Amino acid sequence: MLQNRRQSESVLAAGASCPVPVCRALAITSTLATGPVDDTPGRGRDWVFTCPRCGFEFRTMPEELLFHSVPMSWFLASVSQA
């Protein structure tokens, strides 16, 4: 159980809006945390998204992200409580 918690804490998530004008769904992606995160605009992680509604694959500029570098366990906390 502790090992699963450590693994989920080492996964970071980011979110962005789908750029397709008729879609605009929230897309969330995740990546392994590998060292310190560089939050400098224009630098840092390369986030690739696939829209869950229309399937469009896209990348965004760091300043267009709705959120980034959030532990994936934050999304799973409410599911494990249910």
Tokens of 24: 């605009």
Residue 80's pLDDT band, with cuts at 50, 70 and 90, is very low
| The predicted structure's pLDDT at residue 76 | 63
Residue 61: name the closest of 79, 77, 78, 47 by CA: 47
The H or E element containing residue 8 is helix 2-9
For the ranges 9-13, 17-21, 44-48, the maximum mean pLDDT occurs at: 17-21
- Determine what percent of the chain falls in helix, strand and coil, rounding each to the nearest 5: 25, 30, 45
The structure's pTM equals 0.66
Give the pLDDT confidence score for residue 50 in this predicted structure. Answer: 95
